[in-house]
C-alpha cells in the first residue's frame, strides 16, 4: 500500500470546497448539482465525481472556472466514487445538510475554504480517501477577547446568537 497527500487546489482560498464519497456517479453528479441549486439562491457551484467504470471524472456546474477546478481536484484524488464540490456565494453551513442527506452520499470528509490536503491510500485495486487535513494545527485556546471577536464576526455574517 502507498500513501499520498493530495493538495486541493483553491486559488487564493476564495472558494468553499466539499470532498465526500458517494455511489452511482452517473446519476449523483448531476443530482447533487440540482440539489445545491435549490439549497442556496444564486449559488455558483460545480460537482465533479469519479466513476469506477469507465474510470473517468464526471462534472457539471454553472460556472466554467468552478467546473475546471472541481474536475482537476477530483482527478488528482483519483479514488472511485469521490466527489468534489466547489462553490462561491455559499458557505458549507448553507448546503452541507443538503449534500449529506442525498441518498447516494456515503460520507463527507471536509467542507472548508481553508487549505486542504486529502490523505489517499493506493492498493492494487485502486485508491481510497482515508481523511482530510483542514487548515493548520491549533496551538492554544481562545481568549475572552477572541471569543467576543468571533461572536461579532458571526453576527456580521448574519447569524444572530440571541
CATH number for the domain including 112? 3.40.1520.10
Distance of CA 109 to the CA centre of its chain: 8
Backbone angles phi, psi at 159, to 5 degrees: -110, 100
38 membership: H or E segment, kind and range: helix 25-39
- Name the band, by pLDDT with cuts 50, 70 and 90, for residue 14: very high
Cell of 104: 447516494
Q: Is 55 left (phi over 0), alpha (psi -120 to 50) or beta?
A: left
**What's the structural domain count of the chain?**
1
Q: Give the pLDDT confidence of 78-133 residue by residue, as tens digits.
A: 999 999 999 998 999 999 999 999 999 999 999 999 999 999 999 999 999 999 99
The verdict on residue 145 lying in a domain is: no
- Name the band, by pLDDT with cuts 50, 70 and 90, for residue 161: low
Across the chain, which distance is largest between two alpha carbons, in Å? Answer: 54
The verdict on residue 115 lying in a domain is: yes
Task: Provide the residue range defining the domain that includes 64.
Answer: 2-137
pTM greater than the 0.85 cutoff: yes
The verdict on residue 75 lying in a domain is: yes
Backbone angles phi, psi at 11, to 5 degrees: -55, 125
The verdict on residue 162 lying in a domain is: no
The verdict on residue 152 lying in a domain is: no
Above pLDDT 70, what percent of the chain? 99
Amino acid at each position: 500500500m502507498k500513501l499520498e497527500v493530495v493538495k486541493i487546489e483553491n486559488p487564493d482560498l476564495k472558494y468553499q470546497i466539499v470532498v465526500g464519497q458517494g455511489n452511482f456517479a452517473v446519476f449523483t453528479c448531476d443530482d447533487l448539482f440540482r440539489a445545491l441549486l435549490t439549497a442556496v439562491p444564486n449559488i455558483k457551484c460545480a460537482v465533479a465525481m469519479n466513476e469506477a467504470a469507465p474510470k473517468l471524472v464526471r462534472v457539471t456546474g454553472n460556472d466554467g472556472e468552478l467546473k475546471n477546478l472541481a474536475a482537476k481536484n477530483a482527478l488528482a484524488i483519483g479514488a472511485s466514487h469521490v466527489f468534489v464540490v466547489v462553490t462561491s456565494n455559499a458557505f458549507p453551513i448553507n448546503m452541507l445538510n443538503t449534500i449529506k442527506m442525498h441518498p447516494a452520499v456515503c460520507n463527507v470528509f471536509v467542507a472548508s475554504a481553508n487549505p486542504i490536503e486529502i490523505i489517499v491510500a493506493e492498493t492494487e485495486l485502486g485508491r481510497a480517501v482515508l481523511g482530510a487535513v483542514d487548515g493548520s494545527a491549533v496551538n492554544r485556546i481562545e481568549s475572552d477577547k477572541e471569543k467576543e471577536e468571533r461572536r461579532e464576526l458571526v453576527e456580521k455574517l448574519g447569524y444572530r446568537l440571541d
